[in-house]
Amino acid sequence: MKRRMIVLGGAALIGGAGAAFLSFGRHASGEPVSTRSFDWKAADFRAGGTAGLPVELPPPIFRSQPQCVASLAKTLGPCHTSDVPVRKDVTEGVAGLPARLSLRIVEAETCKPIENADVEIWHVNAKGVYSGQAARMCNAAEATAQAQSFLRGRQITDADGIVSFLSIYPGWYSGRTVHIHLRILVGGQELLITQLLFDDALSDIIFAGHPDYRERSGRDTMNGDDGVFSAREAASYIFDVEKLEGGVLQASYTIGVKNSG
């Protein structure tokens, strides 16, 4: 059985293929972890997007307990669009480091998986641009992006409360840390709008050396000084990550919601 290394908050976990449920994320002091250590290089990862990825990727590994619990929705923000398609691969062929974004949705109190939840994601491309007919700030002067719907998609959770999207590592834009938007509905009721983050050390590696990102410089906002999250809050919203064979990044996160249904 091949062993896999998952990078969590401040630690690396070695697990077998059957190590599906974990519960880590804080130092012994109880303080949230905000910095991780990565023994990775940008050259370890594929370039060009999701074209040619293996048909089967190993199943994602999740923490058993929610990494954050939420019940109140926040604003969708100016870059959300309507009529988002249900699909697994959300890239529409855009270039970038291929990433599988896996989410496990559970009830906050019992950790019971929530089946048939409608999970939507959206984020920017490697150049920091959103697609679609959104506010001017999202893709001003980007006529091609305005006419497309890349890096937007929805899926319905399975019996284990899981969805997995094929996407790319998001780029950055001024004033915000690297993030992915997330929306969850159950039975037509909106239970959560939030954002998930990536560790700054990982972003530094990718933006400095990966061919799809390294031409841009000047990133001005990190997790610790983002306007949406405080530094302490940000530590609880960072993906667990794994480097899969073939140069694909696996990003996983368990989120608990208060399901009134």
User: Judging by beta carbons within 10 Å of its beta carbon (0-12, 13-18, 19+), is residue 233 exposed, middle or buried?
Assistant: middle
Question: Where do we find the tokens 């599906």?
Answer: 20
Q: Collapsing DSSP states into helix, strand and coil, what is residue 259?
A: coil
179: β partners: 197
For residue 43, how many other CB atoms are within 10 A of its CB? 11
Continuous segment of H or E residues that includes residue 146: helix 143-146
Question: Where do we find the tokens 């497309």?
Answer: 148
For residue 153, how many other CB atoms are within 10 A of its CB? 24
Q: What is the pTM of this model?
A: 0.90
Q: What is the largest CA-CA distance in the chain?
A: 51
Bridge pairing between strands 98-107 and 248-257: parallel
Cβ proximity of 134 and 86 under 8 Å: no
pLDDT tens for the 261 residues of the chain, in order: 577 888 886 444 444 433 332 323 332 223 333 457 789 999 999 999 999 998 789 999 999 889 888 866 677 899 999 999 999 999 999 999 999 999 999 999 999 999 999 999 999 999 999 999 999 999 999 999 999 999 999 999 999 999 999 999 999 999 999 999 999 999 999 999 999 999 999 999 999 999 999 999 999 999 989 988 888 888 889 999 999 999 999 999 999 998 765
